[in-house]
């Protein structure tokens, strides 16, 4: 038991593929002892890119590095009788088992939850699958893109003139891993209190659906369907796009910025508007926006109550008015093209114009806020003669900080440590299992 | 009201938060048995209470279905923290609680004496969890933004979309939906530590730092290889076909799409048989992933000619029956009617006293022994004053009356309610 780690008293067996590796990584970073069980030769996820120096090699996958920090690795062939026997020994020492096989697979191998519970009555088992363990789609397969499509997230991504667009960077897998991690910890808490284990059934589809918070009540109450309009926050039909001025993505001199309305509910109101127009006017780029008419309009466009009343009482007047946002945005847009993204951000933030830079990956790495908080951390990879800079932790716990204590394991790096020192296999037995393809 | 045998029974939480992230964190604890008291005020209501959709299009503090969804199983009290006696009531709750969730802009709670230092002075073993957009330290800690902006800051917007077009948002305030899950995990970790040692702690969350986690492979690729990941529509560097394809229109919708992803040779062979192009299996142009990547545009056009003729649902089941990963691009309507989602009982209707019957989304996981409980709809503002003041804080009717007269317990807004977004 290690009181410096949040989960220092927890052991987890990791039989997960891409859909679940993130779940066990989160728990390992918090301090749990996670044993990654790989098939002899290494887990297939080791072949997923990107790779260190673009060299495809099972010990050089950055994808693997990221998802397996702090874990220990053993190799074990569960397809063999001896492999399953060793697995059962290991099972006795575990609090939690996490797996992502298709429903029924482990059952067929004689390793279903009911059987494992006989060996370890307090065991918690978390199964992560695309659609859950039961139901009409339980046997359906899904990679990330199918999960985000079936979970409803993809429907909103993209411009109206293009096909729906997948959000970048495996959102479905990550969402499933996060949900599973949460569920496992809830069950661990229950086990701490009562000694009782349980079975957890996680669905990637539902994990994704839980990222749709705003849009679902609209359908539920009004049968209104939010449309695909990736530039602005989408509004469910029959409502127009949010009409506040500068509520959109804008190109600028060296990239893109995004605004959340210059004179609306979330901003500094007319005072912010005046400062912006003064700035533009000082460079002769405010056009007719200096006129009072546009000032009044900007305020009205940011006033949801006013617009709501107008929409009901005078639909035509409402449509005409909302269309004027385009004129304001065109002039602001022309001005922003003459400025860099940081100039814009630094200038208008203090005026309470909610705006930010649409950061590239490079911008994120150089972000001064992240730098000041020392978010990125260096991790030694002695085998590569390299120190790699990793993104840091998602949260900061004062007494038991989550952190990367050790780089991801090499294939079977902890075979000896775990099989000999912990399970008590003799070197001869170990050699025999190796020769037999069990380890 | 609470069912026995829930995992987090006995855990007591005080929530002082607004908008999306804070309330969702405590909601997930409440649905698994924690007792959560939400401190609110009619004089400074949570903006989510002011966001549509409202019952019958009329705005009002207790009429937003969106706002209600964030607060299942919680108890709402209404006190004014800006009045002298307001913070005293809040501190009474702190003495009762195991967890204090601060979801206000950094620094806000200090003026009420509800910052970490003041609270841990009266309750040393409290777990104090603070969540904010950019964290409590650093040059931009006071940044007051929304998920819509954070999505751009964390890099999602720039990598979503087609290479030849503009960046795209993922959906509304995307980071607001993923950040809460991280804090739930951190809180449960802190509870594990507290059970073992009796000690509390402070947890700080920068929602930016949490959101960035999903982009870790891209960040490592930049740090190690200098590559800046950019927009790539729906394509995948190691798979083809990998994208969405147009399907035959249905009765209810003119647009139908199906997502298909083929990674392995086995899947490719099965795919070719389903679309009745067995010749492609051996065709050198398409036989390997490298060939398919090289000729991806042509391949996608040919596939679209086949998918256009059939309904999305039929394509999905044809592909799935052959072992190929495929799924419809589902609209909210499709999701509500999805037989699998129904089977999992994901959307659960509850009778809200003002909104009427409306649906609440359930967690994505099912715990066999200690399932979630979704039975108490999001409370009206101050709905649970009597329960909390009497049962938890042991106030008498006279105490309550006194606070009501003084206006410490709030009962109505100073100005008429106006929606913040319609």
B195 and B63 in a common domain: yes
Picking from A359, A391, A425, the residue at the C-terminal end of a domain is A359
Give the range of the structural domain holding residue A317, as residue numbers without chain letter.
231-359
Check if the beta carbon of residue A227 is closer than 8 Å to that of residue A247.
no
Q: What number of CA atoms fall less than 13 Å from residue B67's CA on the CB side?
A: 30
- What is the SS3 assignment for B407? coil
The mean per-residue pLDDT over the stretch B262-273 comes to: 95
Dihedral sign for Cα atoms in the order A66, A68, A71, A74: negative
Give per-residue pLDDT as tens, B26-37. 999 999 999 999
| Facing residue for A364 by CB, picked from B69, B146, B212 | B212
Residues of B in contact with A10 (CB under 8 A): 192
Picking from B333, B356, B381, the residue at the C-terminal end of a domain is B333
Q: Is residue A375 in some structural domain?
A: no
- What is the SS3 assignment for A200? strand
CB contact under 8 A, B359 and A216: yes
CB contact under 8 A, A157 and B168: yes
Q: Is residue A391 in some structural domain?
A: no
Mutation target among B335, B350, B419 for the A interface, most CBs of A within 10 A: B335
Binding-face residues of B in 267-296 toward A, CB within 8 A: none
Q: Is residue A368 in some structural domain?
A: no
B401 and B266 in a common domain: no
CA–CA separation, A357 and B154 (whole Å)? 10
Residues of B in contact with A365 (CB under 8 A): 219, 222-223
B307 and B387 in a common domain: no
Contact of A233 with chain B, judged by CB distance below 8 Å, is answered with yes
Q: Which of A266, A314, A242, A221 minimizes the C-alpha distance to B57?
A: A221
CATH classification at residue B100: 3.40.50.10540
Counting residues of chain B whose pLDDT is more than 70, the rounded percentage is 96
Q: Which of A271, A266, A264, A275 minimizes the C-alpha distance to A298?
A: A264
Q: What is the pLDDT of residue A248?
A: 85
Query: How far does the CA of residue B182 sit from the closest CA of chain A (Å)?
Result: 7
Give per-residue pLDDT as tens, B126-143. 999 999 988 888 888 877
Count: domains in chain B: 2
B358 and B280 in a common domain: no
Task: Read off the pLDDT band of B201 (50, 70, 90).
Answer: very high
Give per-residue pLDDT as tens, A237-294. 445 556 778 888 899 999 999 988 887 767 788 899 999 999 999 999 999 999 999 9
- What is the SS3 assignment for A255? strand
State yes or no: cis peptide before A238, omega within 30 of 0: yes
CB contact under 8 A, B320 and A156: no
Give per-residue pLDDT as tens, B369-402. 999 999 999 999 999 999 999 999 999 999 999 9
Phi first, then psi, for residue B311 (nearest 5°) are -70, 150
* Contacts (Cβ under 8 Å, ≥6 apart) of A16: A23, A24, A98, A99, A100, A128
B61 and B131 in a common domain: yes
A430 and A311 in a common domain: no
- What is the SS3 assignment for A4? coil
CB contact under 8 A, A212 and B366: no
Phi first, then psi, for residue B329 (nearest 5°) are -85, 100
Check if the beta carbon of residue A439 is closer than 8 Å to that of residue A430.
yes
DSSP A418: I
Dihedral sign for Cα atoms in the order B114, B115, B120, B125: positive
Q: Is residue A342 in some structural domain?
A: yes
Residues of B in contact with A354 (CB under 8 A): 144-146, 149
A329 and A207 in a common domain: no
Give per-residue pLDDT as tens, B150-170. 888 888 888 888 888 888 877
A329 and A251 in a common domain: yes
Binding-face residues of A in 111-130 toward B, CB within 8 A: 126
A158 and A275 in a common domain: no
B167 and B252 in a common domain: no
A339 and A284 in a common domain: yes
| Facing residue for A178 by CB, picked from B181, B196, B220 | B181
Which chain B residue has its CA at the smallest distance from A173's CA? Answer: B214
CATH classification at residue B318: 3.30.1540.10
Quote the tokens at residue A393. Answer: 């932790």
Query: How far does the CA of residue B374 sit from the closest CA of chain A (Å)?
Result: 15
A235 and A199 in a common domain: no
Q: Is residue A300 in some structural domain?
A: yes
Q: What is the pLDDT of residue B4?
A: 56
- Reported ipTM: the value is 0.94
B352 and B291 in a common domain: no
A235 and A190 in a common domain: no
Cβ density class B11-45: b for 16+ within 10 Å, e for less: bbbbbbbbbbbbbbbbbbbbbbbbbbbbbbbbbeb
Q: Is residue B7 in some structural domain?
A: no
Task: Read off the pLDDT band of B361 (50, 70, 90).
Answer: very high
Count: domains in chain A: 2
Q: What DSSP line would sit under A57-114, residue for residue?
A: -TT-BHHHHHHTTT-EEEE--TTSHHHHHHHHHHHTT-SEEEE-PPTTHHHHTT--HH
B152 and B25 in a common domain: yes
Q: What is the pLDDT of residue A234?
A: 55
Strands (DSSP E) along B158-291, which ranges? 201-206, 242-246, 257-261
A100 and A171 in a common domain: yes
Q: How far are the Cα atoms of B37, B58, B66 from residue B55, in angstroms, in the given order?
A: 25, 6, 10
Quote the tokens at residue A340. Answer: 């860099």
B127 and B25 in a common domain: yes
Q: Is residue B19 in some structural domain?
A: yes
Predicted confidence (pLDDT) at residue B2 exceeds the cutoff of 50? no
Q: Where are the alpha helices (DSSP H) in B279-396?
A: 279-282, 289-294, 296-307, 312-321, 332-337, 339-343, 385-386
CB contact under 8 A, B184 and A182: yes
Task: Read off the pLDDT band of B420 (50, 70, 90).
Answer: low
B204 and B171 in a common domain: yes
Predicted confidence (pLDDT) at residue B207 exceeds the cutoff of 80? yes
Most confident of A309-313, B46-50, B94-98: B94-98
Q: Is residue B62 in some structural domain?
A: yes
Q: Is residue A175 in some structural domain?
A: yes
Q: Which helix (H) or strand (E) holds B38?
A: strand B35-40
Mutation target among A132, A345, A361, A403 for the B interface, most CBs of B within 10 A: A361
CA–CA separation, B368 and B373 (whole Å)? 13
Mutation target among B4, B5, B6, B7 for the A interface, most CBs of A within 10 A: B7
CA–CA separation, B416 and B61 (whole Å)? 10
Picking from B333, B361, B380, the residue at the C-terminal end of a domain is B333
Predicted confidence (pLDDT) at residue B271 exceeds the cutoff of 70? yes
| Facing residue for A394 by CB, picked from B20, B69, B182 | B182
Q: Is residue A217 in some structural domain?
A: no
Q: What is the pLDDT of residue A268?
A: 81
CB contact under 8 A, B176 and A265: no
Picking from A299, A332, A359, the residue at the C-terminal end of a domain is A359
B169 and B86 in a common domain: yes
**Maximum separation of any 2 CA atoms in chain B, in Å:** 86
| Facing residue for A260 by CB, picked from B148, B185, B203 | B148
Q: Which of B204, B193, B164 minimizes the C-alpha distance to A189?
A: B193
State yes or no: cis peptide before B53, omega within 30 of 0: yes
Cβ density class A39-76: b for 16+ within 10 Å, e for less: ebebbebbebbbbbeeeeebbbbbbbbbbbbbbbbbbb
| Facing residue for A200 by CB, picked from B145, B335, B365 | B365
A318 and A269 in a common domain: yes
Q: Is residue B96 in some structural domain?
A: yes
Which chain B residue has its CA at the smallest distance from A197's CA? Answer: B369
Q: Is residue B172 in some structural domain?
A: yes
Binding-face residues of B in 71-130 toward A, CB within 8 A: none
Per-residue pLDDT of chain A (439 residues; tens, 9 = 90+): 556 888 988 999 999 999 999 999 999 999 999 999 999 999 999 999 999 999 999 999 999 999 999 999 999 999 999 999 999 999 999 999 999 999 999 999 999 999 999 999 999 999 999 999 999 999 999 999 999 999 999 988 888 888 998 887 788 999 999 999 999 999 999 999 999 999 999 999 999 999 887 788 888 988 877 777 766 655 554 455 567 788 888 999 999 999 888 877 677 888 999 999 999 999 999 999 999 999 999 988 888 778 878 878 888 988 888 888 889 999 999 999 999 999 999 999 889 888 899 999 999 999 999 999 999 999 999 999 999 999 999 999 999 999 999 999 999 999 999 999 999 999 999 999 999 888 8
B157 and B78 in a common domain: yes
CB contact under 8 A, A170 and B214: yes
Average pLDDT over chain B, rounded to an integer: 92
Give the number of other Cβ atoms within 10 Å of residue A16's Cβ: 29
Q: Is residue B128 in some structural domain?
A: yes
Check if the beta carbon of residue A161 is closer than 8 Å to that of residue B254.
no
CA–CA separation, A109 and A113 (whole Å)? 11
Binding-face residues of A in 253-272 toward B, CB within 8 A: 256, 258, 260, 265-266
Give the range of the structural domain holding residue B354, as residue numbers without chain letter.
12-214+342-406
A116 and A190 in a common domain: yes
Q: What's the angle, vertex CA B312, arms to CA B327 and CA A166, rounded to 5? A: 45
Q: Is residue A348 in some structural domain?
A: yes
| Facing residue for B160 by CB, picked from A62, A147, A167 | A167
A289 and A195 in a common domain: no
State yes or no: cis peptide before A392, omega within 30 of 0: no
Q: What is the pLDDT of residue B53?
A: 86
Q: What is the pLDDT of residue A170?
A: 84
| Facing residue for A231 by CB, picked from B166, B197, B324 | B166
CA–CA separation, A116 and A373 (whole Å)? 44
Q: What is the pLDDT of residue B421?
A: 57
CATH classification at residue A130: 3.40.50.10540
Residues of B in contact with A151 (CB under 8 A): 330, 335
CA–CA separation, B38 and B102 (whole Å)? 11
Q: Is residue B419 in some structural domain?
A: no
A237 and A205 in a common domain: no
Q: How far are the Cα atoms of A262, B152, B191, B315 from residue B170, in angstroms, in the given order?
A: 22, 10, 33, 26
Q: Is residue B354 in some structural domain?
A: yes
Quote the tokens at residue A422. Answer: 């912990």
Query: How far does the CA of residue A433 sit from the closest CA of chain B (Å)?
Result: 30
Quote the tokens at residue A163. Answer: 């096909």
């Amino acid at each position: 038991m290690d009181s410096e780690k949040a989960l220092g008293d927890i052991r987890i067996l990791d039989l997960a593929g891409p859909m679940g590796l993130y779940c066990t990584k989160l728990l390992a970073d918090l301090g749990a002892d996670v044993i990654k069980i790989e098939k002899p030769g290494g887990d297939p996820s080791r072949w997923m890119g990107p790779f260190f120096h673009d060299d495809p090699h099972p010990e050089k996958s950055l994808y693997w590095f990221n998802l397996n920090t702090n874990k220990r690795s053993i190799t074990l062939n569960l397809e063999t009788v001896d492999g399953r026997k060793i697995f059962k020994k290991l099972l006795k020492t575990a609090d939690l088992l996490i797996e992502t096989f298709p429903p029924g697979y482990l059952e067929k191998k004689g390793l279903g939850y009911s059987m494992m519970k006989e060996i370890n009555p307090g065991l918690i088992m978390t199964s992560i699958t695309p659609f859950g363990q039961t139901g009409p789609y339980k046997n359906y397969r899904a990679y990330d893109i199918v999960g985000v499509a079936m979970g409803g997230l993809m429907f909103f991504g993209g411009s109206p003139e293009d096909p729906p667009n997948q959000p970048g960077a495996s959102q479905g897998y990550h969402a499933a891993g996060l949900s599973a991690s949460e569920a496992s910890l809830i069950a661990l808490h229950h086990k701490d209190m009562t000694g009782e284990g349980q079975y957890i059934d996680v669905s990637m589809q539902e994990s994704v659906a839980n990222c749709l918070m705003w849009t679902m009540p609209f359908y539920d109450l009004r049968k209104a369907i939010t449309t695909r309009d990736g530039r602005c926050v989408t509004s469910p039909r029959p409502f127009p796009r949010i009409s506040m001025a500068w509520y959109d993505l804008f190109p600028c001199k060296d990239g893109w910025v995004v605004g959340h309305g210059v004179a609306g509910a979330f901003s500094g109101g007319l005072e912010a508007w005046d400062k912006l127009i003064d700035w533009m006017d000082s460079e002769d780029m405010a056009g007719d926006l200096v006129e009072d008419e546009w000032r009044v309009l900007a305020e009205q466009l940011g006033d949801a109550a006013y617009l709501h009343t107008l929409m009901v009482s005078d639909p035509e007047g409402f449509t005409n008015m909302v269309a004027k946002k385009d004129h304001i945005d065109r002039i602001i847009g022309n001005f922003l093209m003459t400025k860099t993204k940081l100039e814009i951000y630094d200038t208008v933030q203090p005026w309470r114009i909610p705006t930010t830079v649409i950061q590239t990956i490079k911008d994120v790495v150089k972000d001064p806020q992240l730098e000041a908080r020392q978010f990125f951390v260096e991790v030694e990879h002695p085998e590569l003669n390299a120190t790699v800079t990793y993104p840091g932790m998602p949260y900061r716990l004062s007494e038991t900080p989550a952190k990367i204590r050790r780089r991801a394991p090499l294939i079977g790096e902890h075979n000896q440590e775990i099989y000999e020192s912990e399970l008590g296999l003799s070197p001869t037995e170990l050699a025999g299992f190796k020769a037999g393809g069990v380890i | 009201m609470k069912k026995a045998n829930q995992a987090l029974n006995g855990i007591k939480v005080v929530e002082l938060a607004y908008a999306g992230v804070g309330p969702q964190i405590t909601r997930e604890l409440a649905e698994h048995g924690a007792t959560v008291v939400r401190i609110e005020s009619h004089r400074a209501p949570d903006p989510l209470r002011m966001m549509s959709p409202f019952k019958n299009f009329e705005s009002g503090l207790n009429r937003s279905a969106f706002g209600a969804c964030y607060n299942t199983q919680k108890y709402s009290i209404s006190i004014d923290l800006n009045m002298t006696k307001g913070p005293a009531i809040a501190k009474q709750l702190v003495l009762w609680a195991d967890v204090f969730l601060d979801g206000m802009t950094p620094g806000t709670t200090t003026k009420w004496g509800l910052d970490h230092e003041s609270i841990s002075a009266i309750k040393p073993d409290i777990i104090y969890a603070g969540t904010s957009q950019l964290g409590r330290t650093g040059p931009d800690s006071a940044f007051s933004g929304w998920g819509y902006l954070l999505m751009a800051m964390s890099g999602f917007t720039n990598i979503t979309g087609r290479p030849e077009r503009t960046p795209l948002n993922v959906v509304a305030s995307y980071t607001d939906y993923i950040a809460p899950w991280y804090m739930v995990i951190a809180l449960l970790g802190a509870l594990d530590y507290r059970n073992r040692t009796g000690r509390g702690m402070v947890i700080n969350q920068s929602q930016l730092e949490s959101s960035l986690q999903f982009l870790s492979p891209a960040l490592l690729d930049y740090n190690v290889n200098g590559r800046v990941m950019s927009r790539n529509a729906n394509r995948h560097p190691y798979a083809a076909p990998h994208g969405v394809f147009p399907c035959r229109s249905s009765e209810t919708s003119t647009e139908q799409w199906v997502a298909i992803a083929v990674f392995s040779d086995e899947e490719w062979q099965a795919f070719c048989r389903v679309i009745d192009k067995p010749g492609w299996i051996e065709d050198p142009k398409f036989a390997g992933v490298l060939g398919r990547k090289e000729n991806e545009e042509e391949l996608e056009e040919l596939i679209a000619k086949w998918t256009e003729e059939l309904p999305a649902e039929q394509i999905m089941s044809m592909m799935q029956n052959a072992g190929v990963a495929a799924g419809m691009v589902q609209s909210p309507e499709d999701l509500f009617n999805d037989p699998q989602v129904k089977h999992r009982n994901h959307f659960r209707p509850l009778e809200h006293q003002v909104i009427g019957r409306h649906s609440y989304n359930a967690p994505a996981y099912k715990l066999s022994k200690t399932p979630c409980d979704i039975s108490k709809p999001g409370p009206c503002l101050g709905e649970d004053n009597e329960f909390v003041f009497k049962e938890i804080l042991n106030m008498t009717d006279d105490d309550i009356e006194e606070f009501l007269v003084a206006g410490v317990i709030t009962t109505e807004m100073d100005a008429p309610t106006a929606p913040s977004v319609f």
